[in-house]
Amino acid sequence: MSVIPCLQNEELQKLILDYAEVLKTDAHKLGAHGLSEQEFYNSGVFRGAIERIRGQFSATMRDKREFCRHVLNYMQDQGFIQDWDSAGESNRHDYVVRLKTGRVCVIELKGCLDGNNTNIFERPSNAQEFVIWSVCTNPGADPRLNAWSGIHTRLSAEIISRQQQVDGVRIWSAEPLGARARNSLARRSARPPSLIMCFRRRASMCCRRRLPVHEIIRVLLPNRLTTFIC
């Protein structure tokens, strides 16, 4: 059974791999660095440039934050929530959402769940629900691998070691759905939903205890998000 129904774009992945090989062998021909081929690859210029570009792409959250603002504004306009606020840069969470009942739900916004940033979060004391929202906009990402890695090797470790209660994870990926999921949605004339995973109702250091898992209908913020987000 797959972790999520989304698939990696195989055609795009092939193009990426082919271009990466060309870039590695011909990078010394680009730019006005004045170095020979051997000097170029021994200098660290290529590696440093790649790491700089990678860091710039990984660090930018502007588009993700804009997407989430549009979603939360729409939810407020349509009466799904009472209001919401940005938590600001100094906190280890991003949004505080108040439902119509007054329940306080806190969102921590993440990227593709494949980096160390996934481990950086803090559930505030006023949170009645705490949700990790993954917005993966990298078209070359492997959504299944990222979801498995992020949840099993990163989030779960933090939940156990730091006793950080996480009520659910919502994953929105730009990647296409698999054939089975597409066929199922076509039969129901439905739009492809993003994925929601519910966690245990409280954190525990004891791995042998079978603590109850949240039901989606009881985790109120993700439940409201399912009403309209693709």
Is residue 178 within 8 Å of residue 2, measured between CB atoms?
yes
Average pLDDT, stretch 2-17?
A: 78
- Model confidence over 191-211: pLDDT tens digits? 444 565 555 555 544 455 555
What is the pLDDT confidence band of residue 61, given thresholds at 50, 70 and 90? confident
- Model confidence over 103-137: pLDDT tens digits? 899 999 988 888 888 888 889 999 998 989 888 87
Widest CA span in the chain: 67
Please, which residues have CB within 8 angstroms of residue 139's CB and are 6 or more apart in sequence?
9, 12, 174, 175
pTM of the model: 0.68
- Model confidence over 80-107: pLDDT tens digits? 889 999 988 778 889 999 988 898 999 9
Number of C-beta neighbours around residue 137 at 10 A: 16
Is residue 100 within 8 Å of residue 78, measured between CB atoms?
no
Distances (CA, A) of 12 to 36, 67, 96, 137: 32, 24, 37, 14
